[in-house]
Chain A
Amino acid sequence: MSSPSWPGCVTDRRALIGGLLAVMLVRPTAATPEALEEAILDFTKGTAPQVGGVVLDIPPLVENGNTVPVSVEVESPMTEAEHVRAIGLFNERNPLPHVLTAKLGPWSGEARIGTRIRLSNTQRLVAVAAMSDGSYRFGEAQVIVTLAACVEG
């Protein structure tokens, strides 16, 4: 998944010497929105999540998809009566739709987790929160992944 076979540094010398390319090359691959939806419904046991209350913080543009910082924060008082039970993070275009699922509870104090993920290319990410009342909420983000230059091999 780590940049499997990007070209070396640059392939078009003239483009470099001339205006120098300001273009962003994005690797097209087959999207798998169905797999994403399936993974989410598996997490919610078939319930459709409602949008809102889940903030997915991720840079809109990343320089290298191998390590992308991301955090998820869910609005919740995190009390015994009303809290977030779990957070699931899913992606659209990696080989697998799952990224991370985390279990939390009122003892967490806040519903906030952070990690670093791999993104094979430009895509959509979805974070789903399982609430203590049995409902599910979600938030999403779109990320543009650019290619690394001057890589090995």
Chain B
Amino acid sequence: MARTLLRVPATVTRGEVVEIRTLIQHPMETGFRSGENGRMLSRDIIRRFTCLYNNRPVFEAELHPAIAANPYLTFTLRVDESGILAFTWEGDNGFSQTETRTLTVA
């Protein structure tokens, strides 16, 4: 499992727009770089990131090799109800990881 760091406010007032920040450990090997033996290293990147809020997609991103190693992504969300945020990263070589966080409307 890749290490992730997520910042989601613990409590939110109804209708507030919050910024969500995510960081995941991943080399994002571009496929354009040669390794020690001079041979090209094959591409190994995260290709897709999605965030579901109570099972509804609220943010989706398609990533390319130009995204830096250990991808960092931030986006915003208007919060109308308490619920569960599910973050999923998917990529080359079967990479797939999901993390969840609870958002509570105070």
Contact = CB atoms under 8 A, between A and B. Distances in A.
B66 A108 contact: no
A124 interface: no
A98 B62 CA distance: 10
A100 interface: yes
Most buried by A among B33, B53, B61, B78: B61
A52 interface: no
Contacts of B67: 99-100, 115-118
Contacts of B76: 108-112
B5 interface: no
Contacts of A115: 67-68, 71-74
B78 A113 contact: no
A112 B77 CA distance: 10
16 contacts: A1-B65, A4-B34, A68-B68, A94-B66, A96-B64, A99-B64, A100-B63, A102-B61, A107-B77, A108-B59, A108-B76, A115-B72, A115-B74, A118-B66, A118-B67, A119-B66
A119 B68 CA distance: 9
A114 interface: yes
A102 B68 contact: no
A71 B21 CA distance: 12
B102 interface: no
Contacts of A108: 17, 58-59, 75-78
Interface size class of B (residues with CB under 8 A): 20 to 34
Interface of B: 17, 19, 21, 30, 32-34, 53, 56-69, 71-78
A101 B60 CA distance: 8
Contacts of A112: 19, 74-76
Interface residues of A, number: 35
Nearest to A115: B73
B59 A95 contact: no
Given A96-B64, A107-B78, A117-B68, 6 more contacts: A1-B32, A98-B66, A101-B62, A102-B75, A107-B77, A112-B19
A5 B53 CA distance: 44
B30 to A, nearest CB: 5
A14 to B, nearest CB: 32
